[in-house]
Amino acid sequence: MEIALISAFIVGLFSAVHCIGMCGGIIGALTFSLPAEVRQHRWRLLPYISAYNLGRITSYTAAGALLGWLGDRLFNVISPDSGHLILQGIASAMMIGIGLYLAGWFPRFAMIEHLGKPLWNRLQPWGQKLIPVRSPGQAWLFGVVWGWLPCGLIYSALIISGTAGDALYGALFMLSFGAGTLPSVMAAGILTGWMARLSRLSQVKTVVGLLLIVLAITSFYLTWSHGHEHFAAGHSV
């Protein structure tokens, strides 16, 4: 599970270009809706930006918990004996897909975000009603709604969280992913430009993509070998 959490954090961290392009505009709308006396002072603006990010990560974590719980129930019904291995296989395949996408070798992988558009069409009006934002609590609600914005990387991470084995691990996976996105979204104007330039470098994209692929294969191998040893031990008694 530790490998999966590290992978989730790496995916979030190196989704900088995607996050800046999608979430940057949302933070802009949030910022410009605030009173001028708040916008003009970074320290007064920080609680609002922090609350927004806490809200979207709250949504990621809650969705991860739900999908982790549903995935556990589903695969216990399909195959109680080998369900965990099936889950790990799906998670590894998805992580390999993300690695290929981040490396620039599989751009069509982002099309997975179309899965969430029907839900988003229902939620978007609620987010618009929260503008203008007048308090950090309202900024948190704004983040909770906009955390469901269709995004191929988020939805891919959510699918993996559904293979985590239970609600807690599904929540932890998405929490790790959300934590990885924080530097690019929180540090607007300080680190964002640097991270965007870094994530555009083909060498960096290739290394990150290959790293995720290696982590996915390693995680699946460890799960398979552990299951194989457990099976062999059970039949040697």
pLDDT computed for residue 131 by the predictor = 80
User: pLDDT digit string (tens) for 170-193?
Assistant: 999 999 999 988 877 776 544 444
Residue 225 CB burial class (10 angstroms; 0-12, 13-18, ≥19): exposed
pLDDT computed for residue 65 by the predictor = 95
Euclidean distance between CA atoms 85 and 72, whole angstroms:
12
Token pair listed for 46: 């920080």
**Domain residue extents for the chain:** 2-227
pLDDT computed for residue 232 by the predictor = 43
Euclidean distance between CA atoms 200 and 127, whole angstroms:
31
Place of tokens 């969705």: 63
Phi, psi dihedral angles at 94 (to 5 degrees)? -65, -40
User: pLDDT digit string (tens) for 85-129?
Assistant: 777 788 888 888 888 887 778 878 767 767 777 877 888 788 778
Share of the chain above pLDDT 70, in %: 76
Token pair listed for 9: 């954090």
Q: Distance of alpha carbon 57 from its chain centroid, rounded?
A: 9
| Nearest-10 Cα torsion for 163, 166, 172, 174 | 40
Euclidean distance between CA atoms 109 and 142, whole angstroms:
28
pLDDT at 42 over 50: yes
Length of the chain: 237
Per the model's pLDDT, the better-predicted residue between 128 and 62 turns out to be 62
User: pLDDT digit string (tens) for 1-15?
Assistant: 677 788 888 877 776
pLDDT computed for residue 230 by the predictor = 45
Is 139 within 8 Å of 133 (Cβ atoms)? Answer: yes
Place of tokens 């299951």: 227
pLDDT computed for residue 192 by the predictor = 47
Residue 211 CB burial class (10 angstroms; 0-12, 13-18, ≥19): middle
Share of the chain above pLDDT 90, in %: 13
Closest residue by Cα to residue 155 from 124, 215, 114, 105: 114
pLDDT computed for residue 171 by the predictor = 94
